[in-house]
Amino acid sequence: MDETTISDTEPSTPRPAWRPDGPFAGGGLGVLRIALSVIVGYLIMAMLVMSTMFLAVQMMDIDAIFEQGFWVSTSRWNTIVVMISLLSAIAGGAVCERIANNRMGIRLLSIVFVVAMIGSLVTVLRSDSEPEPAPRPTTEALAAAAAEADQSPKLYAMIQAGKNAREPGWLKVANPACGFVGALLGSMLARRQTASRQS
């Protein structure tokens, strides 16, 4: 008669309830890693947006950024803003995927962008109409005013733009939408790169 070992008869120890399977495996450390991936991914995207926007402003003339006579952004500048948002979100999504090492991180980051997109859409829909754009002085007038204020023309123009310029309603929704799409693309690219290295 075959003897049955103790390990065959004793039931396996169940996993504690506080140690979930899946993306949160590892308990508190797993949750912390996912939270860190969302925070770092978002910060990477935000820093890239701010730095590249600053460089773009420095490289472009004020007339290329705003329409003649009004503090309204040009189509060229709006396109640049959308591209910067999309590319920065791709980088942020890739970083989020690498840190989390599972899809839960990018899902949470995507939720952040969805909430922002819904909030922007509600704000735009609730507004009765787009506010009238403030008149913009000519480049020569801005340069003269900057000299009186003892500031560089570009700095003075940007300060005035911050006070008077209005972001188009569609761009308010497009920015978080680009964040959502870009983050998913970045996550997908990071997963493909990881899979190709492991194969």
Summarize pLDDT for 13-63 with one digit per residue, the tens: 454 443 444 555 555 687 899 999 999 999 999 999 999 999 999 999 888
- Residue 155, domain member (yes or no): yes
Quickly state the pLDDT bin for 184 (edges 50, 70, 90): very high
Question: Domain range holding 141?
Answer: 27-198
Contact by Cβ (8 Å): 176, 113: yes
- Residue 45, domain member (yes or no): yes
Is the pLDDT at 69 greater than 70, yes or no? Answer: yes
Mean residue pLDDT of the chain comes to 85
Summarize pLDDT for 112-139 with one digit per residue, the tens: 999 999 999 999 888 766 667 778 888 8
79 half-sphere exposure, CB direction, 13 A CA radius: 4
Residue 94, classified by CB atoms within 10 Å of its CB into exposed (0-12), middle (13-18) or buried (19+), is: buried
- Residue 10, domain member (yes or no): no
Q: Where would I find the H helices in 60-168?
A: 62-65, 75-100, 103-126, 139-148, 153-164
Task: For the beta carbon of residue 136, count every other beta carbon within 10 angstroms.
Answer: 22
pTM score over 0.85: no
- Residue 168, domain member (yes or no): yes
- Residue 171, domain member (yes or no): yes
pLDDT for res 25: 54
pLDDT for res 43: 97
- Residue 132, domain member (yes or no): yes
Euclidean distance between CA atoms 184 and 178, whole angstroms = 10
- Residue 15, domain member (yes or no): no
Comparing 100 with 129, the larger pLDDT belongs to: 100
Euclidean distance between CA atoms 9 and 101, whole angstroms = 37
- Residue 9, domain member (yes or no): no
Q: Which of 89, 92, 97 has its CA nearest to residue 187?
A: 97
Tokens of 29: 């450390």
Comparing 52 with 155, the larger pLDDT belongs to: 52
pLDDT for res 70: 87
pLDDT for res 138: 85
Mean pLDDT score, 72-97: 96
Question: How many domains would you assign to the chain?
Answer: 1
Is the pLDDT at 6 greater than 70, yes or no? Answer: no
pLDDT for res 130: 65
